[in-house]
Amino acid sequence: MDIRQRTFTIRGRPITHYYVHLPEVVVVIAQDAEGRYLLVRQYRGAIDRQVLELPAGKCEPGEPPATAAARELEEETGYRADRLEYLLSFHPTPGYSSELIHAYRATGLQQTETHFDEGEDLVLVLMSPAQCQEAIRSGQLQDGKSILALLIDQAGWVAGP
């Protein structure tokens, strides 16, 4: 874990703040030809349970977020996109983490095959927009980056670069 410290001044007094430094992350919103969203179910050790979420993952050092989004989509779902559209970037927990998440919409999907990273065991889950809304309401889908990305997609918002 990469815990860093930064000292800055507030109202003339030095303040030391500790935070977790994390690599940039991508999350991908993709729908199949029937309009179902591609989600994955995987174990998350931090909360010790299976989690339903959109395909996502870390950017490798020097890897552009769009390249990471294309890679993660195919690795985790077995689908390749003809086009990736950047939606927005956001800091989910700036109070204690430097993490920056980039959201993309994938279109023109073509089925290929999955290529899981070591330690990954994912199951593809296809859900209609209505099923996603119900999963959010019922607490079945609690992953913050996925909820935000799905709501932005369903609202038709595009933030741009």
Mind listing the pLDDT tens digit for each residue in 73-107?
999 999 999 999 999 999 999 988 999 999 999 99
Q: Which has the closest alpha carbon to 55: 34, 35, 36, 75?
A: 75
pTM greater than the 0.95 cutoff = no
Structure tokens at 154: 């369903």
Q: Which fold has domain 26-155?
A: Nucleoside Triphosphate Pyrophosphohydrolase (3.90.79)
Other Cβ atoms closer than 10 A to 57: 19
User: Which residue, chain included where needed, has tokens 């889950």?
Assistant: 125
What does the pLDDT read at residue 159?
56
Q: What integer pLDDT is reported at residue 128 of this predicted model?
A: 96
Which residues have a Cβ under 8 Å from the Cβ of 1 and sit 6 or more positions away? Answer: 20
pLDDT tens sequence across 12-44 = 999 999 989 999 999 999 999 999 999 999 999
Compute CA distances 44 → 48, 91, 124, whole Å: 6, 20, 15
Q: Is the Cβ–Cβ distance between 105 and 69 less than 8 Å?
A: no
Task: Give me the pLDDT at residue 24, please.
Answer: 96
